């Protein structure tokens, strides 16, 4: 019997913290990890807290108070769950409180200490459209399904070309899991936006069995879903990356759809966790299986699956629909021939023909806003955010200039250097594409879908619905339209500027570019008519653009693998990125130089310098964000867990001047 309970509370100013409380005698047999309690705090207050541990010892200087009441005898999480969060804190270099804050709904810490009462109406938005829909698997699907079913590996990768029916295989596996009395976590990227898969899931399994979890559902709803999960009332939790922290009882299967998507990784704020990685830990702790799927898997996932015999391939589209024809159009020659516009003549012509046939068109432009930068025509200065070292982007809708990093917005249209008002917008964003498309295709119905066009979540669903019902001829959008859209009437996809996805200074930019182009191409020709895709480019010789044209993942992978090996990038190493920032440029630089030198020395002394390679310090590609100057050190760790522990152990012992901030990004998805 323990004397003290460690209780997690959230107090204004102090943040999320644990304190020790004495356990009253008559609670001793009842108290459990994960229970909600009421505890005294300060002279008068009572607050809500959660049991996260027990002990018999307390520093003599601390006078513990007694727990006041057990609010809910049913625990809201268990010890395995705490182990998971602890692992996240350790692996991603942050404190457990930060992880708890991310994982638990805000409502856990609301001020009043009321007990939870079940709301009367739940998930009103989720109504099935029709009866439950079930499909028979095709022969190929059936074969792959059986293979996956009988494999021993904990993680399997389902690699199937776009439109091959990966979802049908997930559904079958989900069904089996439910039949065994277990529950399922079904993750998809940015599901606030992709409602099609949500609807398919609900239509298949019934709304009473499915709950939804992502960052934009309300805290109250999250809390209620949490309760239902704990009580084993939900069979499938469908969610974005944060759903990996939901407390699914009896977890049997985790599906990670479109596993290549970088939105599985949280880059801001801490914890900078990757939900795919956390899912692996989760599966280990609860003995669940993971099925990840993509047409263009993450290079690391593919490599791992190949090396562990857990790769399963779907080679054909469902119903033997053919992959679309892709052609590349050189915009340099268009210019030479007198067409200075953003649409090639071929794309204009094909668009008209497609719409005349009653079919639909998608234009991808992977940049929101109107243009990409604004320049002063008198002195050449580019308009920049005052707080971030990046260009401001003109938005025609609001007639203002915005910083896509910090959200700063200004209407003032003057050069910061010479005050001239002779400003010109260069480059092409989605708003400009829309404006020009409305002129060229004036008799067609056009809609734009990007994060600027969405005032409400419903607006987005409405646009997608109209598009599905054929009421929109041309849909223009950023990368968000490349995700999961399944409209058999789309037979033309035009990529306005294919180069945009490739030219970030980042080791994963080829992968991202290839994957985006292949995915968006995969939106074309999913029905009975063969699809067409046009990539417009100023750089037609780009090798990875060629690979995307061929939609040949394997050949892309082989090439990319070679490059990664040559430069020791993942999967041949794991990367840890250390970012040092400060509002004083010289302080950030100085601290970063010092840390790099000490770290390098430390690694050398351990004779690990051939397996743990430090690069830098160098200024970050984006040298300033929100007024903080940024420098970084990149570590390529070829020593696995031991290397990870060595580096993070070193970083934990550093103490920094209070003006200096250290951020550690483990397995970063970008290094900007």
CB of 643 to ligand ADP, least distance (A): 37
CB of 383 to Zn ion, least distance (A): 9
Distance between CA atoms of residues 251 and 185, nearest Å: 7
Binding site for Zn ion (CB under 5 A): 376, 378-379, 381, 385, 387-388, 403, 405-406, 408, 415, 417-418, 420
Give yes or no for a contact between 536 and 339, defined as CB atoms under 8 angstroms apart: no
Residue 385 binding result from Zn ion, ligand ADP, none, given CB thresholds of 5 to 8 Å by partner type: Zn ion
418 labeled part of a ligand binding site? yes
CB of 477 to Zn ion, least distance (A): 24
Give Cα 367 distance to the centre of its chain: 18
| Nearer to Zn ion (CB atom), residue 67 or residue 383 | 383
| Nearer to ligand ADP (CB atom), residue 163 or residue 570 | 163
415 labeled part of a ligand binding site? yes
Residue 173 binding result from Zn ion, ligand ADP, none, given CB thresholds of 5 to 8 Å by partner type: none
| Nearer to Zn ion (CB atom), residue 424 or residue 594 | 424
Residue 72 binding result from ligand ADP, Zn ion, none, given CB thresholds of 5 to 8 Å by partner type: none
Which residue is associated with the tokens 């204009």? 348
Indicate the SS3 state at residue 46.
strand
Q: What is the secondary structure of 492-560 as a DSSP string?
A: EEEES-GGGGT-SSSTTHHHHHHHHHHHHHTTSS-SSSPPEEEEEES-TT-HHHHHHHHT-HHHHHHHH
592 labeled part of a ligand binding site? no
| Nearer to ligand ADP (CB atom), residue 141 or residue 524 | 141
How buried is residue 12: exposed, middle or buried, by Cβ count under 10 Å (0-12/13-18/19+)?
Answer: exposed
| Nearer to Zn ion (CB atom), residue 381 or residue 600 | 381
Half-sphere exposure of 361 (CA within 13 A, CB side): 26
CB of 384 to Zn ion, least distance (A): 9
Residue 160 binding result from ligand ADP, Zn ion, none, given CB thresholds of 5 to 8 Å by partner type: ligand ADP
Residue 406 binding result from ligand ADP, Zn ion, none, given CB thresholds of 5 to 8 Å by partner type: Zn ion
Residue 548 binding result from ligand ADP, Zn ion, none, given CB thresholds of 5 to 8 Å by partner type: none
Of the candidates 368, 343, 358, 330, which has an alpha carbon nearest to the alpha carbon of residue 437?
343
Give yes or no for a contact between 280 and 246, defined as CB atoms under 8 angstroms apart: no
CB of 560 to Zn ion, least distance (A): 32
| Nearer to ligand ADP (CB atom), residue 425 or residue 489 | 489
| Nearer to ligand ADP (CB atom), residue 166 or residue 260 | 166
| Nearer to ligand ADP (CB atom), residue 396 or residue 468 | 468
Residue 318 binding result from ligand ADP, Zn ion, none, given CB thresholds of 5 to 8 Å by partner type: ligand ADP
Half-sphere exposure of 261 (CA within 13 A, CB side): 25
Q: How far is CA 484 from CA 171, 191, 310, 354, 481, in A?
A: 16, 10, 24, 22, 8
Half-sphere exposure of 564 (CA within 13 A, CB side): 24
CB of 321 to ligand ADP, least distance (A): 8
- The two tokens of residue 594 are 């010092």
Distance between CA atoms of residues 421 and 155, nearest Å: 58
CB of 424 to Zn ion, least distance (A): 11
CB of 236 to ligand ADP, least distance (A): 16
Residue with nearest beta carbon to ligand ADP: 165
CB of 164 to ligand ADP, least distance (A): 4
620 labeled part of a ligand binding site? no
Residue 92 binding result from ligand ADP, Zn ion, none, given CB thresholds of 5 to 8 Å by partner type: none
379 labeled part of a ligand binding site? yes
Q: What is the secondary structure of 183-200 as a DSSP string?
A: EEEEE-TTTTT-HHHHHH
> Residue 664: which residues within 8 A CB-CB, separation 6 or more?
92, 93, 94, 272, 576, 577, 578, 579, 648, 651
Give yes or no for a contact between 95 and 89, defined as CB atoms under 8 angstroms apart: yes
Q: Cis (ω within 30 of 0) for the bond into 269?
A: yes
Binding site for ligand ADP (CB under 6 A): 135-138, 141, 160, 162-168, 318, 486
Residue 164 binding result from Zn ion, ligand ADP, none, given CB thresholds of 5 to 8 Å by partner type: ligand ADP
CB of 509 to ligand ADP, least distance (A): 24
Of the candidates 366, 321, 325, which has an alpha carbon nearest to the alpha carbon of residue 161?
321
Distance between CA atoms of residues 203 and 572, nearest Å: 42
Residue 166 binding result from Zn ion, ligand ADP, none, given CB thresholds of 5 to 8 Å by partner type: ligand ADP
Residue 417 binding result from Zn ion, ligand ADP, none, given CB thresholds of 5 to 8 Å by partner type: Zn ion
Which residue is associated with the tokens 């995307």? 548
Give yes or no for a contact between 580 and 591, defined as CB atoms under 8 angstroms apart: yes
How buried is residue 191: exposed, middle or buried, by Cβ count under 10 Å (0-12/13-18/19+)?
Answer: buried
| Nearer to ligand ADP (CB atom), residue 226 or residue 318 | 318
| Nearer to Zn ion (CB atom), residue 352 or residue 414 | 414
CB of 271 to Zn ion, least distance (A): 24
**Beta strand pairing status for 446-449 and 474-477?**
parallel
Which residue is associated with the tokens 């440029």? 585
| Nearer to ligand ADP (CB atom), residue 161 or residue 251 | 161
Binding-site positions for Zn(2+): 376, 379, 385, 388, 403, 406, 415, 418
């Amino acid at each position: 019997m323990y004397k003290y309970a460690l209780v997690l509370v959230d107090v204004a100013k102090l943040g999320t913290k644990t304190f020790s409380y004495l356990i009253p005698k008559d609670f001793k047999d009842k108290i459990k990890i994960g229970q909600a309690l009421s505890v005294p705090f300060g002279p008068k207050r009572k607050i809500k807290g959660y049991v996260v541990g027990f002990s018999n010892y307390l520093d003599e200087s601390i006078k513990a108070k007694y727990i006041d009441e057990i609010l809910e005898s049913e625990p809201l999480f268990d010890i395995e769950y705490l182990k998971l969060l602890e692992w996240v804190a350790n692996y991603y270099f942050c404190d457990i409180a930060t992880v708890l804050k991310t994982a638990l709904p805000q409502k856990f810490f609301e001020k009043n200490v009321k007990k939870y009462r079940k709301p009367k109406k739940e998930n009103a938005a989720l109504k099935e459209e029709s009866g439950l829909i079930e499909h028979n698997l095709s022969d190929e699907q059936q074969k792959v399904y059986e293979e996956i079913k009988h494999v021993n590996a904990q993680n399997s990768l389902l690699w199937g070309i776009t439109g091959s029916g990966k979802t049908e295989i997930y559904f079958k596996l989900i069904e089996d899991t439910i039949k065994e009395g277990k529950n399922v976590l079904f993750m998809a990227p940015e599901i606030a936006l992709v409602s099609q898969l949500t609807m398919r899931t609900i239509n298949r399994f019934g709304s009473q069995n499915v709950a939804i979890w992502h960052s934009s559902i309300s805290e109250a709803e999250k809390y209620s879903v949490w309760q239902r999960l704990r009580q084993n009332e939900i069979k499938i939790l469908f969610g974005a990356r944060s759903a990996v922290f939901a407390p699914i009882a009896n977890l049997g299967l985790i599906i990670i759809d479109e596993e290549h998507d970088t939105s599985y990784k949280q880059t801001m704020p801490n914890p900078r966790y990757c939900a795919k990685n956390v899912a692996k830990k989760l599966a280990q702790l609860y003995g669940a299986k993971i099925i990840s799927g993509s047409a263009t898997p993450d290079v690391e996932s593919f490599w791992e699956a190949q090396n562990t015999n857990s790769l399963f391939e779907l080679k054909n589209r469902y119903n033997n629909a053919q992959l679309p024809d892709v052609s590349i159009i050189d915009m340099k020659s268009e210019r030479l021939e007198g067409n200075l516009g953003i649409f090639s003549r071929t794309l204009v012509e094909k668009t008209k023909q497609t719409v005349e046939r009653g079919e639909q068109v998608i234009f991808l432009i992977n940049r929101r806003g109107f243009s990409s930068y604004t320049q002063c025509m008198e002195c050449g200065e580019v308009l920049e955010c005052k707080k971030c070292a990046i260009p401001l982007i003109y938005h025609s809708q609001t007639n203002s200039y915005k910083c896509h990093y910090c959200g700063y917005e200004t209407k003032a249209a003057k050069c910061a250097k010479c005050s001239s008002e002779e400003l010109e917008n260069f480059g092409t964003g989605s708003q400009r594409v829309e404006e020009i498309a409305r002129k060229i295709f004036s008799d067609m119905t056009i809609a734009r879908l990007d994060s600027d066009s969405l005032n409400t979540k419903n607006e987005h669903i409405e646009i997608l619905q109209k598009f599905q019902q054929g009421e929109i001829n041309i849909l223009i959008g950023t990368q968000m339209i490349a995700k999961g859209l399944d409209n058999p009437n789309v037979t033309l996809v035009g990529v306005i500027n294919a180069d945009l996805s490739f030219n970030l200074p980042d080791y994963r930019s080829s992968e991202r570019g290839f994957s985006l182009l292949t995915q968006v191409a995969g939106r074309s020709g999913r029905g009975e008519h063969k699809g067409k895709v046009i990539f417009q480019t100023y750089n037609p010789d780009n090798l990875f653009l060629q690979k995307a044209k061929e939609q040949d993942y394997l050949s892309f992978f082989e090439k990319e693998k070679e490059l990664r090996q040559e430069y020791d990038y993942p999967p041949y190493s794991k990367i840890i990125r250390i970012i040092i920032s400060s509002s004083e440029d010289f302080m950030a630089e100085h601290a970063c130089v010092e840390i790099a030198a000490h770290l390098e020395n430390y690694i050398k002394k351990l004779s690990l310098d051939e397996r743990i390679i430090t690069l830098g310090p160098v200024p970050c590609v984006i040298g300033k964000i929100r007024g903080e100057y940024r420098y970084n050190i990149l570590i390529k760790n070829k020593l696995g867990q031991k290397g990870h522990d060595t580096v993070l152990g070193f970083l934990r012992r550093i103490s920094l001047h209070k003006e200096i901030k250290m951020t550690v990004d483990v397995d970063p998805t970008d290094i900007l």
